[in-house]
Amino acid sequence: MKTPVYFIADIHLHTFPTAAEEQKKRLLSEFLDEVRAHQGTLFIVGDMFDFWFEYRYVIPGCYFRVLRQLQELTDSGCEVHFIGGNHDYWMKDFFSTELHISVHSQSLDTVIHNRRFFITHADGILPEESGYRRWRTIMRSRLAIRLFGFLHPDVAYRFGSFISSRSRRLNLRPPEEDEAERQALIHYGQSLFADGFQHVITGHFHLPTVYREERNVFLNLGDWIRYFSFGYFDGDNLNLAYWGSPRKPENLKNPNFSLT
């Protein structure tokens, strides 16, 4: 696997145009150009789209630019992996066949440069999310997918976007609630260190987090809404990075992002 390796999650591309959405797409385009220029590897760790349902013959036009850029990325020789999130798990074969992206429906256990990585979107990992886990099982069943597929695409995407917008993780919450979840995530990472993983990467929680335990590293990737944060592995070190951040260390060659 080529380095550098980039990890990004929770972009939540919308189906409707706004100034914030255009900024998000512009910065994402710059980021994908960065991956391509360095011939790196990209892991998309869920929720690239705020809603995705794959019809046999219909692809939403609002996503065309980013889909085209992902195809150009793989055509150039970059390796791209997509782990489904809770907003974009209804995938079939478009990404793998047309875009040549490796799609993973489950968390990924992989070795990169002799380091064992556990990469997961992480929805449903907390003990208190038992109700959500049951709902997830139902919504990912063949019956649910088949029934939803009977909806006209315009209706389906309008409905899906409405439901997605209700997600509490897309809205501001009390700091103490965020901190409690951050500590729960770190505990989750520690449990995976005990199982032999050296690097643990999660999405879903929109909480940029770095926790180090000797050479082991846990990252929550944050999001591409408020933080424009992502993971960066150069073959030796795993860091959390911020695209377009004013915090630019002088020893960093690329002025577009900073590492923490």
CATH number for the domain harbouring residue 91: 3.60.21.10
The C-alpha angle with vertex 102 and arms to 56 and 127, in degrees rounded to 5, equals 95
35 close to 79: Cβ distance less than 8 angstroms: no
Cα–Cα distance, 96 to 165 (Å, whole number): 27
215 close to 234: Cβ distance less than 8 angstroms: no
Owning domain of residue 196: 5-259
Q: Which pLDDT does position 251 carry in this prediction?
A: 31
Cα–Cα distance, 166 to 186 (Å, whole number): 26
φ, ψ of residue 229 in degrees (nearest 5)? -110, 155
**39-53, 69-83, 224-238 — which is least confidently predicted?**
39-53
Q: Which pLDDT does position 197 carry in this prediction?
A: 98
For the stretch 105-117, pLDDT in tens is 889 999 999 999 9
For the stretch 226-240, pLDDT in tens is 999 999 999 999 999
More confident site: 202 or 54: 202
Number of domains in the chain: 1
φ, ψ of residue 59 in degrees (nearest 5)? -125, 125
**In this model, does residue 68 exceed pLDDT 80?**
yes
Average pLDDT of span 52-57: 77
Q: Which pLDDT does position 34 carry in this prediction?
A: 95
For the stretch 140-176, pLDDT in tens is 777 777 776 777 777 777 766 666 665 545 556 678 8
Q: Which pLDDT does position 245 carry in this prediction?
A: 59
Helix spans in the chain (H):
19-37, 64-75, 94-98, 130-139, 142-148, 153-165, 175-194
Quickly state the pLDDT bin for 210 (edges 50, 70, 90): very high
Q: Which pLDDT does position 233 carry in this prediction?
A: 97
**In this model, does residue 250 exceed pLDDT 50?**
no
Quickly state the pLDDT bin for 120 (edges 50, 70, 90): very high
Average pLDDT of span 17-29: 91
Residue 8: half-sphere exposure toward Cβ, Cα within 13 Å: 24
